[in-house]
Structure 1
Amino acid sequence: MSQDLDQEGFITEEFQKILLASATSSVSSSSLIDKDRKEKLLLSKTKNSGNISNDDIEKVTGDSLDPQYFDKWIPFLRSTIEKDQLAVAVDELRSSTEDNFQGLEVQLLRDFQVTNKLTNSISEVSDIQSAIEQQLTRQMMDFQTNLSNSTNELIVKKKIFLNNKKTSLKISESIILITKVLRILELSSKCQELISEKSFFKALQNLDNLEKLYLQEFKNYNFGFLKEIYDSIPFLKKVIRDECINLIRNSFNLNLGKNLEEVGHTMFACYNDELLAQWLQKRDQMDFSSFKFNSPVEISLRDQDVLSSISLDKFFHLDEFHDAIMIFETLQESQYLLSEFTNEYEFRKNKVIFPLVWKKTVNNINITTADIERDAFTKSLNLEFLQTYLLRILGFLMYDICLNKATDFSLVDNNYNSTNEFWEGLLNRLGPYLSYFMQKYLNDEEEIVKFKDFLSVYVAIIENFNLTITPLYNILLSVFQKYCDISMSSFSHEFKTLLDDDDFMPLTIQDKSLLDKVLKICWLKKDEDSKLMEEVKSMEDSGSQFSITLPFSPLYPMTCTLAKKIYSKLTNFISVFYGHNLQYLSNILIKTMDVIFNDIVNQQIKSKLDSNSREEIAQILINLDYFIIASKEFSKMMTNTNILQNPDIEIKLSSIKHYVESRKYAESKLINLIDSKISDIFDTVEFDWSANRIRKEPDISIIDVAQFLEMMFASTLVNLPYSIQTLLIFREFDSLTRKVLDLLLHETPNRLTPESVLNFEIDVNYLQGIIPRIFPSIEPSPSESRSSTPATSSRGASDHPTSLIENNIKSLEETFTELNQCIELLKSRDYAEYADPEIRMRKFSRIKAEDAQWLISKVKSLTPEPDDSSDNKSVMGSVRSSTPSNDSSANTNRLAKLFGR
């Protein structure tokens, strides 16, 4: 209300200002309007019509009032009339006349007419107000009547509208309900369609939407057909679940059939034909011989385009498993899927590994050889079947790896080692069959190499997918051992042939190229090859026919060739693959070469020492001396090329020690044979101690002994090492002198004739005289050069200085000292000389007192014979300087008999 008064006061004040402005303008004009006339006119218009127009105002005001000011009244008057406040406005105008027109009093007073007119106008205004009020009253009543009628019409129309609105709302609700019913029908139909199209996850999503829609909208409705649709949801879910399991089974049928072998073949071919071939080429180009296939270096250099061609995603399509996992997770039946998958997958595994039985693998039952031989798997065993079988297993392993990774291991209950567990279990079952196959069927080197190459590439593939390789790699180690065994057997057979065909004679070569090959193959003594080259050069310079005789027999170079060949073959066998257990491989390699050098070469050579042929044993002794060198050099070669690539390792074959032992045995065997032969020859010697005639030549039996010794050392033993020759010479002469001395002291009669003593001296001097001819001569005579072997005339003389030979001759002659002193004592026939210490120390220092007395007693009682010392001296001199009579037929026959014994 206060706001209305404020508004009213504001309106009145504004109106007053306008009136004031109008009045001021009217007063200041030159002539005043006839207000009485104008007011009456306005009043009459108001009474008659109740409306005052602008034309009426203009007629009333005439020229005395500016129409613009009067136009400003109209809004205030209209507003006052509309608000039914015209009387209030008049009262306010009256009460504010003094305030608003104080400034005009003087002027109004001056114009009395104007003042009267103004006073009269007030009553006219009041009349106008009454007229207006009456008019407004009538209008208000009419308005109320119209309003009442309109209200009634509005109520009626509103009722109609509300009824229509309710009807429309029900129609809308019906439309919505029908739409939702149609949606349910559509979802139900779509589910059936998606199930028939195998889109089970989408079908399940539609079923969930259908279930939610029904529960939210139609749970309280009694729609029978909708209830039937809702009740069919569990059945449809079961259909989806069963169909998902069927899809998994179909996926198994598709992926675990013959295509597994194709996958295995493709993977193997990629590694074997492309990656391996590329690596072998790069290894030769980049000198990477120490790096194996599938080593980190080889893997880092692989062609990635080749690897991308064998991506597992290209082989297997596993969309069914993704859908199944999502579907069963949505159904909250993941354990059911896991159970069904496990059962089905176990069944598929059994089919994949057939004809092996998977249950035995799971139960870890030990398999005997008898079980293996009766097994159906064994009946199909051959290299081709085994390769096909393992490639099928490889395909399955690739499938299992791909499936587990694609499903994030959810189908194996997050067991990240599931593939490896299956693989280890299979190897536990398959291992005995592989070992049986290797032992039973792999008996040929070519088949072993094929199996090794296949299994090595197979192991490389398995290793690249982080699966266990230990059992298979152990099979590879066994394959290498089998290859070594077969190689040793082959070597043994070839060596036996070589040994049986060997002539046990020094190797004579008449072809320069052949000599170069032999020197390249064999290991010789220090500086021996340079000396041989000097001999070759000397022959070429002199233009003589090429002919070189080597100390060893053909067996030695042929054996070296075989040994190098088999070592190269064994190292090549493991050069490309075999990247693990290098120490074990090295031990196998060393053991194999030890077996070859000792158990085969040494033992078979040693078996030949049972021979009674001195020439053969002597040549064996020479060969053994070179085989010791070969073993040492072969050890160095294996050290430098050891597969461990360790520069600090040192390999020493144990066969070196065994060769040394065999050489000692051969030496003792040769010595025993020579001793036996000399003993047999010496047994034929008969000294005539009762002789009455002095011989001019030694006894024929002594000549036989001397010829035997001279010929034996000049031919049979000429190629022996000088140390062995010296040993044998000293041993045999020492043995010979001891035998003769023992015979003189213990086997002679009690009485000896002086002639027999002189004859005995002739025989002993003859034996002593052959000593210089046994040792190699420094400057052989032309006849000796022609008769001696090349080895004797060249290397025998040049290898040892003159002083050494002369010292050896002097030492050997000293073995006759005691025997010569005994002869001198017998010739003196006087014990007084022996009793004289000075003479004894000078002439008889080696003779014991009891032996001296015994010898003197044998010749003391005899009557002295005429002194023919000059003749004896001449005879003895001639004997010492004489050579055996080789021209006599008797001697030739006896030598033939001796060498034939």
Structure 2
Amino acid sequence: MPSIVPARSDPSYVLNQIVLSPSDTDYLDQLIPSISEYSHGNKTSQLLHSLSEFAGDRENEIERICNASHQEFVTSVNQLLRIREGTVNLTTEILSLSQSIQSSTERLVQQKKALVDSRGVRQNINEAGNALQDCLEVLRLANQVHDLLARKNFYAALRALDELQNVHLRSVTQYKIAEMIRRSVPATQKTIADAVMNDLNTWLFRIREMSQYLGELSFYNTDLRKQRQQERAERTPYLSNFKLNSAIELVSDEHEEYDVLNNDDLQVDFTPLFECLHIHQSLGQMDKFRAEYAATRRRQKELLLPASISLVDEDMANLHTLLEDMAGFAIVERATMKRAPDLRSSIDVEELWDSLCQTAISLIGKALPDVDNAEQLLKVKNLIALFIQTMNTWRFPTAAMSGFLLTLFEKYAQLLKRRFSDDFLEIVSTDDYMPMPIQNAEEFEKVITVSWYCPERAVDDTKFPCVLPFSQMYPLCCIDIRNFLNQFYFYANDDFPHREVVDEALRVALDDLLCEEVCGSLVQKLSVQYIGQIVQILINLEHFETACKELESLLVKARSPESSIGSVSLRATEKFRNNKKTAEKRIFELVNSKIDDLVETAEYDWAGTTKPIEPSTYIQTLTQYLSNIMNSMLLSLPTEIKELIYFDAISHAAKAILALPLSPTVTKINPNGISALSIDVHFLSDFVSSLQNPILQQNLDELQQTVALMESDNSDEFYDSGLRNRKYGQVNPLNGPLLLEKITKVVEAAPQTAATSAAERLKGFGTRFGMR
């Protein structure tokens, strides 16, 4: 019967294709189209039912198979586990056996290597023993060389080494040790050279340690020589022309000869140096020794110099140590050059000396900014000058250090100028600007001694207490000026070779101080409003001008012979003279300003209804003011200056009064107004006449003639040139017609209003202007 093939849409067919799928991919390839097909036909439940039936059949079949073969399966699993456990145990035993074999092999290799090494060592020991036995005699002789070296018998060791090399080594030439000893000879020679060099270095170290003491002794000896030279100069003034280290001084001091290298306090033994020199000459290494010695001394020179020094300590320990070390080092170099000319040349010594000087100058220069005291800097200069004189004794060039003294001098001059500048400023600022009172003759003598002032009367003819024309700032400044001169010349004593520089620097510095600090400060004080103070400043300026002239002569006398011949001129002399004019102008300004203020208070009633019978209050106050300042504030001024101030004041007052009727605000002037002005002008004229100086009266001519023209009944005379020149010659041709146009002969009645009298308006005016 033929088989019936199910249709592709049959669920059994689809289920069969899904189960038979060889992989998950094929499984999904069969499942997805079937799901899609059954979904469209609403047969999804039929497919799920078929799958469930198939799954149930498969589970029943698996359960049946497991129930039939369960015991056999468990037995097979147990057997497999036991086989696996046996396999693991066998693997562990195999690994343990392999490690044991490997360890045994390594021990065998080590034992074999040790056996080989021990045989080589034993063979080497045997050969060395035989060689040593044969060469003991040679080694004994070689050791003898080192024994001599240890006992510091350097020259004997060198001779023994030469005998070993040329005699004893010939009997053992078949051994290599002979060649080794022969090759070691240069090293032994070097050892000898190094040993003797070590001895020399020890000697050099001791020399370096005693360098400061050596320099200190040298400075002390130089100072004693200076004292002896001064004593000889006091006994014989002619010897003062010769400085330290001059031929005359050296001859005069021969009986005091002193060896700083060999005396009761210090002995410098050059034996180690000579021995080292002899050894190196025997070795033929003189050039090498010379180079090593030079390098050692250069290193010692570097160690000698500190990284920095301080100049602000009171005893200047740093500078003392530096200069004394330098002096001791250089003296040893000069002594070495004289004792061993083949070792040290003058070029080598001077090269080190120049390096020392330059470094010392640099160190001192870096420490200079910290010094702010001129006296401290003077100590520095004196110590350096002593150092220069000491090294000149040993014929060292000292031009660099002498030049550095100029740098120190510049700093010294700056410090002095700064200090005295502060002093002058304080004196000027704290002065009371009043004539200086003197209580007794002793005080008078002191002031005259320090000041450049010649009193009109001698001390015996002077009554005390008295008053000097200048204020106390003048003698105080004179004292400071003298101290300033002395401080400068303290620096320029016999051990300073640049006296001409000091002369010029002193002139410039003194000129600057007088111009800027004294004169400049006084000129600034002229801005005050108190005339008495300005008058005193003017008097002080005059005395300072005199002092400057005296200073010019003093500077010429104190000038050193090296300075140029001729007069000395100070800018300050001209500046004080010119600023006297400035002070005079300032007095003019203040006096004229007071006059303007007084004239401004004048209240003329140019159209007054009554004729005044007394001068105005302002003109009375004005004349009283002029009288007071001339008899009090300006009394101490020279007569010519006082007259000049009076002349200018009266002239200014006349012009100010004349400007009152000329004012544009004044349009009409009646006879009463002219009468008031005339009374005031006559009052001023009477005051000027009382001064008994015809020149002062001339200042009122224009004012008087102008008032006369205003009072004249015939004004046509002014327009007649002949009459005008005779009667009104001083009247300004432009002012005359202007005033004549304002004059009216009509006196109008006064309005019935209360008016404040001029006396009330000027009440207290004298107090406001500081007048009693």
For residue 384 of structure 2, give the secondary structure of its aligned residue in structure 1: helix
Structure 1 stretch displaced more, 811-820 or 474-483:
474-483
Gaps of 5+ in 2: 1-140, 749-758
CA drift of 1:817 comes to 0.8
Q: Which position in structure 2 is the counterpart of 1:16?
A: none
Any conservation in 2 of the 1:624–1:659 contact (CA below 8 Å)?
Answer: yes
Decide whether aligned partners of structure 1 residues 768 and 223 sit closer, same or farther in structure 2, where only a CA change above 3 A counts: same
Asked if residue 395 in structure 1 is aligned to residue 319 in structure 2, the reply is no
Structure 2: distance between partners of 1:711 and 1:335 = 99
Please name the residue that 2:486 is paired with. 568
Shift of 1:727: 2.4
Structure 2 CA distance for partners of 1:292 and 1:491, relative to 1, 3 Å: farther
Where 2:284 maps in the other structure, the secondary structure is coil
Residue type at the aligned position of 1:656: T
Partner of 2:299 in structure 1?
A: 347
1:479 to partner: Cα distance: 3.2
Q: Check if 1:266 corresponds to 2:198.
A: no
CA deviations 1:523-561 (Å, max 9, x no partner) are 23xxx53x222xx5555xxxxx53433211111111111
- Residue of structure 2 in register with 1:484 after alignment: 413
Partner residue of 1:325? 277
- What aligned pairs does 1:759-774 form with structure 2 within 5 A after superposition? 759-771=676-688
**Corresponding residue for 1:308?**
258
The 3 A distance-change label for structure 1 pair 656 and 857 is same
Question: 1:504/1:299 Cα in 2 relative to 1: closer, same or farther (>3 Å)?
Answer: same
Report the counterpart of residue 765 of structure 2 in structure 1: 894
CA apart distance, 1:194: 7.7
Closer/same/farther in 2, CA of residues 392 and 381 from structure 1, 3 Å limit: farther
* Cα distance in structure 2, aligned partners of 1:854 and 1:292: 88
3-state DSSP of counterpart to 2:615 = coil
Over residues 336-355 of structure 1, what are the superposed CA-to-partner deviations in whole Å (9 max), with x where a residue is unaligned? 212332333333233222x4
Matched residue, 1:407: 340
**Counterpart contact for 1:638–1:651, Cα < 8 Å:** yes
In structure 1, the residue matched to 2:725 is 841
Amino acid at match of 1:642: R
Shift of 1:503: 1.9
Structure 1 portions without partners, runs of 5+: 1-186, 357-374, 540-544, 775-805, 865-887
The one-letter code matched in structure 2 to 1:331 is: L
Q: Does 1:251 align with 2:203?
A: yes
Return the letter of the residue paired with 1:469: T
Deviation at 1:640, TM superposition (A): 0.7
**In the comparison of the two structures, how many residue pairs are matched?**
616
> Is residue 472 from structure 1 mapped to residue 401 from structure 2 by the alignment?
yes
Question: Amino acid of the residue matched to residue 673 of structure 2?
Answer: S
2:705 aligned residue (808, 818, 821): 821
Q: Which residue of the partner structure matches residue 275 of structure 1? A: 225
- Partners of 2:671 and 2:744 within 8 A in 1: no
The within-5 A match list for 1:54-453 is: 198=152, 200=154, 237-238=189-190, 240-257=192-209, 259-272=210-223, 274-286=224-236, 294=244, 296=246, 299-300=249-250, 303-310=253-260, 315-353=267-305, 355-356=306-307, 383-408=316-341, 410-412=342-344, 414=345, 416-440=346-370, 442-453=371-382
String of CA shifts for 1:762-801, please: whole Å, max 9, x gaps: 2112223333555xxxxxxxxxxxxxxxxxxxxxxxxxxx
The 2-side partners of 1:757 and 1:380 are apart by 82
| In structure 2, distance between residues paired with 1:298 and 1:552 | 53
Aligned ranges 1:575-586 → 2 under 5 Å: 575-579=493-497, 581-586=498-503
Which runs of structure 2 are paired with 1:494-513 in the superposition (5 Å)? 494-513=423-442
The Cα shift of 1:199 comes to 5.9
Worse-superposed segment, 757-766 or 654-663: 654-663
Query: CA–CA distance in 2 between the matches of 1:309 and 1:291?
Result: 27
Residue by residue over 1:168-212, the C-alpha shift from the partner in whole angstroms, topping out at 9 and shown as x without a partner, is: xxxxxxxxxxxxxxxxxxx9999999867756557767988x699
RMSD value, Cα:
4.0
Within 2, Cα distance between the matches of 1:839 and 1:452?
85
Closer, same or farther: CA 291–211 of 1 in aligned 2, 3 Å: farther
Contact 2:519 2:576 in 1 (8 A): yes
- Tell me by how many angstroms 1:627 deviates: 0.8
Shift of 1:471: 4.2
| 2:467 maps to which of 543, 549, 567 | 549
Are the aligned partners of 2:310 and 2:318 in contact in 1 as well (CA < 8 Å)? Answer: no
Question: Secondary structure, in 3 states, of the residue corresponding to 2:675?
Answer: helix
Which residue, 630, 652, 676 being the options, matches 1:713?
630
Tell me how far 1:392 sits from its aligned partner: 1.6
- Provide Cα deviations, 1:457-493, integer angstroms capped at 9, x if missing partner: 1122233334343443344333333333333333334
Show CA shifts across 1:246-281 (max 9, x none).
332222122122x11111111112223x12333344
Paired position in structure 1 for 2:117: none
Q: Distance in 2 between matches of 1:503 and 1:266?
A: 56
Give yes or no for contact 1:833–1:840 (8 Å, CA) kept in 2. Answer: yes
**2:690, 2:237 → 1: CA distance?**
60
Partner deviation per Cα, 1:432-460 (whole Å, 9 max, x = no partner): 431232211x2234433332322221122
2:645 is aligned to 728
Distance in 2 between residues matched to 1:739 and 1:305, nearest whole Å: 91
Secondary structure of 1:695's counterpart equals coil
Is contact 1:271–1:457 with CA below 8 Å preserved after alignment?
yes
> Using a 3 Å threshold, how does the CA distance of structure 1 residues 220 and 817 change in structure 2: closer, same or farther?
closer
Tell me, yes or no, if the aligned pair for 1:507 and 1:554 is still in contact at 8 Å.
Answer: yes
1:649 and 1:256 map into 2 onto residues whose CA distance is 53
Cα distance change on mapping 1:691 and 1:764 into 2, 3 Å: same
Tell me which structure has the larger Cα radius of gyration. Answer: 1
Partner Cα separation in structure 2 for residue 674 and residue 289 of structure 1: 65
Amino acid at match of 1:638: L
Kept in 1, the 8 Å contact 2:392–2:398? The answer is yes
Q: Which amino acid aligns with 1:387?
A: H
